[in-house]
Structure 1
Amino acid sequence: MGKAVDAQVETSLAEAESRGACLHSYSELVHKDLRRRRKLGQVVEPLPGLYARKEYWKGLGPEERAMHKIRGLSRLRPGWVLCGPSAALVLGASVSWSCLDPIEVVSPCGRGSLLGGKVRGRYASEADAYGVYNDGIWTTSPLRTALDCARRLLFRDAVGVVDSLMANGLFSKEGLLSYLDGLPGGFRGVAQARRVAAFADERSGSGGESIARAAMWELGFAAPELQVRFEDPVDGSEYFVDFLWRLSDGRVLVGELDGGEKYVNPKMTGGRSALEVMRDERRRESRVTASCDAVVRFSPADVADNWRFSQLLDVFGVPRDHEPLVVVEPPDEEPPTEEVPLEAYGI
């Protein structure tokens, strides 16, 4: 392969990276060079005809990888309209990692497998498929996207998507319910979509908090208040807690989702080290406990384990007000205890 083509591919890969996209093989010469590089292990091919440098790809998170594929696909197939979780991700929604693949697109021919199974076609009529243009990418409308996610995804994942779409100001809860009421009779999955819409709340602080709240509900626990303001009794600064329950005996319980990202994501750490963030969190919690009776902390892993999460909330006295909607059974074996490094305690 000539030096000119090699230089052209290098430039094109760098340009695609600057756009946050996979490179599509736009000419036969480029295609051959990229295939050669793939055989040598220099590039990966996440979708047929879309490429990225191997080392660059390894450094991307699941959402970043999904968006790279979507941006590349929008050039490889410019007429395609994304739908479902793929459209939700483009619209800025919080989408569970388990829902990122395969990419979903509107298909007039109905459900089917495209591009070697890496893309899934979903049927929608021409009117339903009317899309919006977002940064060079076509998606179904926010309301249609919410409908498709709410009727097809698991309840927890669907709540995460709809909460975040509302939080982004793309529609209101009333607007979504009105849209669902206007669907023709017998529309598949609309009952499930109504349950998600009725439960959705734009005040949720993150997709993880939305999933945790939905898990609480499925496990039979009372819906908490969200993003409740607390005042620091020492300096008067404001804190907002993720969840709060006011018990009939006057006690106040606070729930906090303890995701690991806030310790390592530069956008959330504000330049602080993980140890500094953890110390600030401990200080914040000590001030919050001055105005409540207990703080129950839990991780995404806790939320994903119905038995563990149910036991944890019960121990802290989180109230129940309905029967569990899912089966909650103890595990066959106790999982190994995760060791916490001494650095976590500031030692």
Structure 2
Amino acid sequence: MASAPPAELSRENAPPQSGPHVYANAPLHGPAHANARRRARRLLRAGTLTELISGRFAQTQDWARHSLDRKILEKILAVTQVHPHWALASISAAAVYGYVARAGLHSRVHCTADEHTASARRSVVPVCFHHVKGGRLRSGEGDDPRAEEPQPRSQTLLNAFGERGYEDSQDVVRNYVALSDTLGLLFGILVTSPLQTMFDCARMLPFSDALPACDYIARVFCISRDAIREFLDKRRGCWKIRYARFVLGFVDARSESGGESFCRARMIESGFVLPELQQSMANPLSAPEFITTARYTTMTMRTDFMWKGTKTIVAEFDGQCKYTDPTMITSVGASDGDEVHEIQAERDTALTMMGCEVVHVTYADVRYNSGRSLSRKLRAAGVPEVSYWEKYRRKHWLARSFHARSLMRLE
């Protein structure tokens, strides 16, 4: 029978009630907490507790119920609890904004460093530092909004985030406070600004991982191409600025999901012409005054990707959760996965009647073998490709990104 958590973890060292409930204690560092630390290690070996980072624990039963995205975010927030003055950067900042990249990129928490900060990796806390000019707040640099809110509102952030992301992305905008062009506060947590986060992700991530993160931030904060261009003009001479221009030149805030952005990144890598996103078309089968089923009540249809030419080609990205996630099933007016298939079939019929050729793309088509299955489908449908010189330009920059040793900074 598992023993109860030690008294040291639940009384004098317990966090304030406003803190995340998953953190069962304050940091157990130093000789004053040696006994509590030993007892926590025993509970850790017994499986009662799970260690997020050194000195931060969660009840194993509660931890096992969380999704992978939630677990990644909890570990990032554990670092901010121990070091609230470290500013989150790159994909760690993007996770707080609501976009959690694949788990392999989150082995470490990414923070900013400037010329006064030691950038060596910590052996106790899994942190990786990246040099950002003005990436740390210094005393005497003006009023610090954190003085009014000394503790980061991590539990508020987790409640808004849920298990899969923010239910309302406007929560991010409402709770973000800009401190400078480089830094800001989100729920009291110090992060790099949206544009700086996009800039860092574009420089540090492979193209197919960077584009979804940048699309998401641009969509949530309504960042225009002009704003991106103006920000990059102020960063001339920075590390990998030219490659960042290449990546951010493809950012499109109209992309509605990370899967669609990932799919578009594969299209760009394969040399296809950029599609038009979220184009609305009248539904010829709509008859809301006579039929009440969901498949006929929509007056318009929006396509994921569209190419117009001698013929109109429509590509639809079918994600992994489209037919299984209750939230997504309800969003299209269906009651179960079978009805989603029926609605999709009627929608394809309507698009075909309007002269469109419909191509369905699955996550497996995009994810595996560098998207070769996706390329075969689009070429068979007749999707136009860019010129030879544009293909050469794309391959030139993508090859430079994959062979750059600097990308190993994320490991």
TM value normalised by structure 1: 0.82
2:291 maps to what in 1? none
Alignment pair present for 1:254 and 2:314? yes
Q: Larger deviation: 149-158 or 114-123?
A: 114-123
SS in 2 for 1:180: helix
Alignment pair present for 1:8 and 2:26? no
Structure 1 gaps, min length 5: 328-347
1:344 maps to what in 2? none
1:211 maps to what in 2? 262
* Whole-angstrom CA distance in 2 between matches of 1:127 and 1:68: 23
* Whole-angstrom CA distance in 2 between matches of 1:20 and 1:297: 43
Q: Larger deviation: 135-144 or 257-266?
A: 257-266
Structure 2 gaps, min length 5: 138-181, 287-297, 397-411
- Letter of the structure 1 residue corresponding to residue 129 of structure 2: G
Q: Larger deviation: 70-79 or 261-270?
A: 261-270
Whether the 8 Å contact between 2:89 and 2:197 is mirrored in structure 1 is yes
1:338 maps to what in 2? none
Q: How is 1:1-347 mapped onto 2 (pairs within 5 angstroms)?
A: 5=7, 8=10, 19=20, 22-26=23-27, 28=33, 31-93=37-99, 95-108=101-114, 109=117, 111-116=119-124, 118-126=126-134, 130-169=182-221, 171-185=223-237, 187-235=238-286, 237-247=299-309, 249=310, 251-270=311-330, 272-304=335-367, 305-306=369-370, 307-323=372-388, 324=391, 325-326=394-395
* Shift in Å, 1:128: 7.0
Whether the 8 Å contact between 2:79 and 2:125 is mirrored in structure 1 is no
* Whole-angstrom CA distance in 1 between matches of 2:285 and 2:20: 46
SS in 2 for 1:81: coil
Identity of aligned residues (%): 27
Q: Larger deviation: 315-324 or 146-155?
A: 315-324
Q: Larger deviation: 163-172 or 190-199?
A: 163-172
Aligned residues: 322
TM value normalised by structure 2: 0.70
* Shift in Å, 1:76: 1.6
Whether the 8 Å contact between 2:91 and 2:100 is mirrored in structure 1 is no
Cα 1:128–1:313 change in 2 (3 A) is farther
Cα 1:69–1:136 change in 2 (3 A) is farther
Cα 1:19–1:46 change in 2 (3 A) is closer
Whether the 8 Å contact between 1:94 and 1:164 is mirrored in structure 2 is no
Whether the 8 Å contact between 1:132 and 1:140 is mirrored in structure 2 is yes
Whether the 8 Å contact between 2:86 and 2:190 is mirrored in structure 1 is yes
SS in 2 for 1:37: helix
Cα 1:21–1:228 change in 2 (3 A) is farther
* Whole-angstrom CA distance in 1 between matches of 2:258 and 2:204: 17
1:334 maps to what in 2? none
